[in-house]
Structure 1
Amino acid sequence: MARQKILITGASSGLGAGMARAFAAKGRDLALCARRLDNLEALKAEIAQSHPNVTVAIAALDVNDHDQVPKVFTELAEQLGGIDRVIVNAGIGKGARLGSGKSWANKATIETNLVSALVQIESALEMFTSAGSGHLVLISSVLGNKGMPGVKAAYAASKAGVSSLGESLRAEYATGPIRVTVVEPGYIESEMTAKSATTQLMVDNETGVRAMVGAIEREAGRAVVPAWPWIPLVALLKVLPPRFARYFAS
């Protein structure tokens, strides 16, 4: 089933903007939201020039403003005449070693990546339940498969929570009418990964986004992307003793 009207959160840069460009190239109409409205306006203008037949609705949204999430989702749905797919993508990569005295960074990561993701999920499901169908996509991470030491501890925990919510929903809607996909990207070039030292495992934004969009279009239940090298690495990560996780956390 082609999902024609797609809402993406955190769409002002990185993976969100990359997915917006990829779906626009497929002729899909877009509802894009993020904190940085100026970036969204620039992206909308870019898409309008490249794909003039694509409708793009934009709205400023800080997903940590939980009261605004359902309001913005509803407003964007009204502009497009409905939403077929919601991609819960907004997130941050802040973090500090647990016990370092920088609890604010870890708290912000958990709140944005997990608590606010839950609010987006609730809003999307309410919309889809009313419409009778829909496709919910949760952007998690390969790091959600293992506890990570150092600065990635809270980030990994937040993404483990997102993946768990996705698994719960896949069980809840095993027979429809709502489809649920959990995407677990590896290291893909973006603002969030710009400071990562794990460059030997990094793929460029276009390659990574292509793999993500492919999995989303297939409406896979769970997808580790790109498949190589991350599917075997995730399998290895799950069975390695915790002390070896540090090699993935740099």
Structure 2
Amino acid sequence: MLQRLRNKTVFITGASAGIGAACAKAYAAAGSNVILTARRQEKLQELKSALEASHPEVQVHTAVLDVTSQEEVNQVVAALPASLQKVDILINNAGLVLGLKPLADYPSGEIDTMINTNVKGLVYCTQAFIPRMKEQGGGHIVNVSSISGHEVYANGSIYCATKHAVDAITRSLRYELADSPIRISAISPGLVDTEFSLVRFGGNKERADSVYKGMVPLSGEDIAEVALFMTSRPPHVEIAESIVFPHGQASATFVHRKSD
């Protein structure tokens, strides 16, 4: 039941848009306090103001955070307000994809950005909270992965590799945390209509929109609902993973599209 989330504290990375922002809205509506982190301060402040207006009973804290910096992650976590020091749920959502290129053509900068954000950033945030969650007697870590963490496709080598890493990290943690009060889950979506494709194609909106042509993609809100369900189960229930497709998608590359 969602009342289990009331007065919980949720730390969300990549909270300025898309799935992260949708999670912030959903958890605040469920009565959770939310800590919003991302690189874009203006977007965070806009979301904070909206949440405080809609849900004045919950605490909303923002922090500019680049998850690729372990020092920055540790500083932000250490500087949390006293009333939000006990974080019950970590949503590792920050992630991105750049380009759609053959491996031989990928620039080193794009490779580094994807690996540093999608893998190292998730690791740094998880490392920051595991000791705290053990000490406080409980917690739940939710890693936002992708169907690309289970499948591969041409020109997606680096992104798929990063999401396969997220899958391996999540499954390894399930062994490591089995004797602790910490639960670990992953959500692996298919096509979600967020800024994801716009970022992938360098701001080319026409090309980004074509990804979702002829079908109804998932929304950030759809994934947020899954996160809420996972984290509102009783303590003995651990949903290991949810693979979520929009209807008509059957794999990373197979999508039934309606003709115009």
Shorter chain as normaliser: what TM range? 0.7 to 0.9
Matches within 5 A, 1:1-250: 2-3=4-5, 4-76=8-80, 78-95=82-99, 96-150=101-155, 152-194=156-198, 195=208, 197-199=210-212, 200=215, 202-218=217-233, 219-226=238-245, 233=250, 237=251, 247=254
- CA separation in 1, counterparts of 2:158 and 2:254? 17
- CA separation in 2, counterparts of 1:205 and 1:66? 27
- The 8 Å contact of residues 29 and 55 in structure 2, kept in 1 or not, is answered as yes
Unaligned runs of 5+ in 2: 199-207, 256-260
- The 8 Å contact of residues 187 and 201 in structure 1, kept in 2 or not, is answered as no
Which structure is richer in relative contact order (CA contacts within 8 A, separation 6 or more)?
2
TM-superposed deviation, 1:36? 0.7
TM-score, length basis structure 1? 0.85
- The 8 Å contact of residues 187 and 193 in structure 1, kept in 2 or not, is answered as no
TM-superposed deviation, 1:211? 3.1
- CA separation in 2, counterparts of 1:104 and 1:36? 21
TM-superposed deviation, 1:201? 5.9
What does residue 242 of structure 1 align with? none
- CA separation in 1, counterparts of 2:11 and 2:141? 10
Residues 79 and 10 (structure 1), Cα distance of their counterparts in 2 relative to 1, 3 Å cut: farther
Give me the identity figure in percent. Answer: 31
TM-superposed deviation, 1:76? 2.3
- CA separation in 2, counterparts of 1:217 and 1:193? 30
The amino acid that maps onto 1:202 is P
- CA separation in 2, counterparts of 1:197 and 1:156? 21
- CA separation in 1, counterparts of 2:98 and 2:230? 27
Of stretches 95-104 and 66-75 in structure 1, the one that deviates more from structure 2 is: 95-104
Of stretches 105-114 and 209-218 in structure 1, the one that deviates more from structure 2 is: 209-218
Matched pairs, number: 235
* Partner secondary structure for residue 104 of structure 2: coil
The amino acid that maps onto 2:221 is E
* Partner secondary structure for residue 181 of structure 1: strand
Aligned alpha-carbon RMSD (Å): 2.2
Residues 149 and 196 (structure 1), Cα distance of their counterparts in 2 relative to 1, 3 Å cut: farther
The amino acid that maps onto 2:123 is L
- CA separation in 1, counterparts of 2:117 and 2:58? 30
The amino acid that maps onto 1:198 is V
- The 8 Å contact of residues 218 and 246 in structure 2, kept in 1 or not, is answered as no
TM-superposed deviation, 1:227? 7.8
CA distances 1:114-151 after superposition (whole Å, capped 9, x unpaired): 1121111111112212222211111111111012211x
* Partner secondary structure for residue 131 of structure 2: helix
- The 8 Å contact of residues 22 and 224 in structure 2, kept in 1 or not, is answered as yes
The amino acid that maps onto 1:134 is G
The amino acid that maps onto 1:217 is S
- The 8 Å contact of residues 145 and 187 in structure 2, kept in 1 or not, is answered as yes
- CA separation in 2, counterparts of 1:181 and 1:77? 26
